Every structure is written in structure tokens, then in C-alpha cells.
Amino acid sequence: METQQTTATAWAIDPTHSEVQFKVKHLVISTVTGSFGQYEGHVETVGDDFDGAKISFSADISSISTGNEQRDGHLKSVEFFDAEQFPKLMFVSTSMTKTGDESYSVTGDLTLHGVTKPVTLKVEYGGQMQDFYGQTKAGFEATGTIKRKEFGLTWDGVTEAGGVVVSDDVKLVLNIQLTKQA
């Protein structure tokens, strides 16, 4: 009789081989990409199967970078993220469901700017591999869209012609490499 593995396996984000980005339309004609430089995340699976995995993730708001120091300062200010009062973005999964051979749907609670809302991300699984040091790595790309105003990020600028400066839709793109913990 075959026994099913029920041992919990812990994984942690490898920040050296991961990216956490957001993309937002500027003036509705071009996209500005930003990223978080400081973040951490943990995943718990049953064995090496990610179906049903439990995920926790946080990013430091003060680590936002868009490649423009003035814009970064504005994003960290009280008009946007208010990094001093709300220093972390947090995500805790409520479900991770396999939707195809190499795809998952992850739903969880995203806390941003003091507001918690459920979000769902599409996840593409890149597979597993051992690195040069014998560590098992797993790769994923997670994508989704949130509405920034639902999280209290309501700053709006309007051009002289009446155009919107920053769109409400914010695309999330996370390329994550996990390391299996001993």
C-alpha cells in the first residue's frame, strides 16, 4: 500500500533571483514600472507539491524604486503609500489551486496602505532545479491587477487638457525563485 507524503516543506524567496514589480499607466499612454528592493516571503507545501500551498509575503514600502528619485519620494509620501504610517505591503494566501500542468491560481488577502482586500493572481510554474550548491529551487511568475483606489491610494493628478495622470489599475508582476529550506 502506497503512503502519501504529508510532511510540511518550507520554502523561502531567494531575493537575489527574484523581482517584485508593479506597472501603472502614466497619462494613459505609457507604462511606468516600479519595484520593491526589500521583501521576504515564505511558502509551506506538502512535500514538493504546490497545490494547496500556504504563502506569506511582505515588502518594505520604503524600498520602492521607479528609477526616478523625485517620483519615488512622492510615492512614499502621505499622498500615496505613506511609508511612515504604513511601512509594509503584506499578502497572506487563502488558497493556491492548480489550474493546469504548469499553472495555479492564488487567492489571498493583500494589505496595502492600511486596507486589506482579497486578490487573485495567476501563477505560471517554471519548475524545479538543483543549483550548484545542491539547493532545490522552484520558479514562478505571478501576475494580477489591483485597483489602487480600493486601497486608499486616491491621489489624482489631471493634465491641463483633462487627462488622467495615473491610472487606477496597477499590474503586479512577481518573478519569484524559492529555495527549499533544510
- Averaging pLDDT over each range in 11-15, 44-48, 149-153, which range is the top one? 11-15
Q: What is the rounded distance in angstroms from the CA atom of residue 131 to the CA atom of residue 147?
A: 38
Taking CA atoms, 144 is separated from 107, 110, 118, 150, 171, in Å, by 10, 12, 12, 15, 6
Confidence label for 166 from pLDDT (cuts 50, 70 and 90): low
The reported pTM is 0.86
User: What pairs with residue 121 in β-bridges?
Assistant: 106
The predicted-structure confidence for 98-151, as pLDDT tens digits, reads as follows 999 999 999 999 999 899 999 999 999 999 999 888 999 999 999 999 887 787
Higher pLDDT residue, 160 or 104? 104
Query: Mean of the pLDDT values across residues 145-171?
Result: 65
Q: Residue 145's closest CA among 176, 167, 124?
A: 167
Confidence label for 34 from pLDDT (cuts 50, 70 and 90): confident
Query: Mean of the pLDDT values across residues 5-28?
Result: 84
Cell numbers that stand for 27 in this block: 497619462
Place of cell 511609508: 83
Homologous superfamily of the 8-180 domain (CATH): Lipid/polyisoprenoid-binding, YceI-like (2.40.128.110)
Query: Mean of the pLDDT values across residues 17-24?
Result: 89
Three-state DSSP at 137 gives: strand
Confidence label for 2 from pLDDT (cuts 50, 70 and 90): low
